[in-house]
Amino acid sequence: MLRLKILASAVPLAVFALVARGEFLPGPHPCIEASGTTVQIASIPWLAQLHVSFTDDPAAATVRVQVSDNAEAADFAVIDDIDDDAEPGACESKGVPQLVAISANPTASDPVIYLSQDGPADYRIFVHSKSFSVRDAAALIVGAHGGHRQLEAASL
């Protein structure tokens, strides 16, 4: 009986530790600031306002993102390893950040991103970073635009 009581008291502590490890403790999460709003990769997927996924099939994609070899040719560039000192407060905002999660199981309304080296593309990104992956950058730029294609947003 004592073992059961110890187990029953330890389970909530373990759950709290997992949640705290995921979101409450400070840690670097890839983020960008766009139009005064901070967009950040969510460490806990169910807290995210937008979920995106990736595909290798261009026909299944709702958003195409081209990975550029040149920062000047990109719509969005992430270059953060030039200086080893991170810029303090680079993604701090007075408001709550918009969280984006990368999902393995998208719903029908979630943006599906196709990464390619050549066009046509809705967005072009350049990534040279220690803290951002190409997938992180693509998810953030699509999340910053609400999951919509750039061309559709421009035609409204």
pLDDT in tens, 19-35: 444 444 455 678 777 77
CA-angle at 79, arms to 76 and 85, nearest 5°: 140
Contact 44, 102 (CB under 8 A): no
* Token pair in block for residue 87: 């810029």
Q: What is the three-class DSSP state of 112?
A: strand
Rounded Cα distance between 50 and 147, Å, is 8
pLDDT at 38: 84
Omega before 120 within 30 of 0, i.e. cis: yes
pLDDT in tens, 122-152: 999 999 988 889 999 999 999 888 776 654 4
Contact 48, 42 (CB under 8 A): yes
Rounded Cα distance between 105 and 134, Å, is 19
Question: How much is the average pLDDT of 110-121?
Answer: 91
Residue 16 has pLDDT above 70, yes or no: no
Strand order in the sheet with 37-41: 31-34, 37-41, 98-102, 50-55, 112-116, 63-67, 123-128, 76-79
Least Cα distance to 136 among 81, 78, 91, 95 occurs for 78
Rounded Cα distance between 90 and 87, Å, is 6
| Residue ranges covered by each domain of the chain | 27-155
Rounded Cα distance between 55 and 63, Å, is 10
Q: Tokens 């007075």 label which residue?
A: 94
pLDDT in tens, 43-92: 888 888 899 999 999 999 999 999 999 889 888 888 876 555 555 555 66
